[in-house]
Amino acid sequence: MFFANISLGSVTIPFKEIFQSLSGGQASKSTWEYIIINYRLPKAITVVLVGTGLSISGLLMQTLFRNPLAGPYVLGLSSGASLGVAFVILGAGLLPVFLQQIVLSSYGIVLASTLGSSCVLLAVLLVSVRLRDTMSILIVGLMFGSLSTAIVGTLSYFSTAEQLQKFTFWSLGNLGNLSWTSISILAISVSAGLLLSLSSIKSLNALLLGENYARSLGMNYNKARFIIILATSILAGSITAFAGPIAFIGLAVPHIAKLVFQTSNHSILFWSTLLFGAIIMLICDTISQVPGGEITLPINAVTSIFGAPIVIWLLLRKQKMIG
């Protein structure tokens, strides 16, 4: 699927040419070589990082809160990132022209998103240290998200059409504009989050039967919860900063892994969710490129079309269990 993602697009590149280019040789056409190295390969790597990171963070949140509808952005990180970007994009008109060019650059947007999500992360971590009840942390995260959304709505009301268009474009997600430097930073962040998640597998298995059971096993519950929240925040926060808020992948993929392997053992779920996250994100991105066409669909539109039926199925299944 990785090579199919590189191959398909407005220009279809044969697999043979891709293998030749990536193995140190040169494609038969210089334009193909340029497209592969500068556009298709960076995007494919970004897609894999985004898919794996969001899927694992969704698995962490669903286990921690014991809620099948929890996702990577349930702590308000996406809303915090959106607030940071909104302040930059929608408030840039108040700045001098030379400052506008700086803050509206790709690095300015990434920095604003990072600061916004970091502020929410700091608030949630401070609250998590003080609160014993995990559900209270979930509610606090949702309240931070609602507050951020309200401020973004107010800023949008007073912004121009051009500013709104730029903000909307960011909110739809974008996987194709990252430089190799940005990809390196994203890869380091995602790797750190995944390593923290991997170290929490025993804690996640203990949490399946509830907080009291986990404590009875001698687990330091507050420490485990802190690490899980920190890992989720690193994964979701860094991905949102570089790629924008990507919907449904973190919510849907863990359930697909559970359905396929019929297990709740996180030693299996971690790796299967990692694999399915990368594959499904590659499929969604390949579809969004509209192979053979000249247009590119917003990645959030494709992931939402894929994820919405999963959410509906979960709601119906939950209602059936209650009934």
Domain ranges of the chain: 2-322
- Rounded Cα distance between 323 and 318, Å, is 9
Calculate the alpha carbon distances from 18 to 43, 204, 285 in Å.
Answer: 14, 40, 18
Tokens for 186? 């994203």
pLDDT at residue 56, as a whole number:
96
Q: What is the pTM of this model?
A: 0.88
Is the pLDDT reported for residue 218 higher than 90? Answer: no
pLDDT at residue 193, as a whole number:
93
pLDDT in tens, 233-278: 889 888 988 888 898 899 889 988 888 888 889 999 999 999 999 9
Is the pLDDT reported for residue 45 higher than 70? Answer: yes
Average pLDDT over residues 59-73: 87
- Rounded Cα distance between 277 and 242, Å, is 18
Calculate the alpha carbon distances from 32 to 7, 10, 19, 21 in Å.
Answer: 10, 12, 12, 9
pLDDT in tens, 12-36: 888 888 888 887 777 777 787 888 8
Average pLDDT along the chain: 84
pLDDT in tens, 93-147: 666 666 666 666 777 888 888 888 888 888 887 877 777 777 788 888 888 888 8
- The CATH code belonging to domain 2-322 is 1.10.3470.10
Calculate the alpha carbon distances from 267 to 182, 262, 286 in Å.
Answer: 31, 13, 30
Average pLDDT over residues 298-321: 77
pLDDT at residue 156, as a whole number:
84
pLDDT at residue 43, as a whole number:
92
Please work out, in degrees rounded to the nearest 5, the angle formed at the alpha carbon of residue 227 by the alpha carbons of 224 and 233. 140
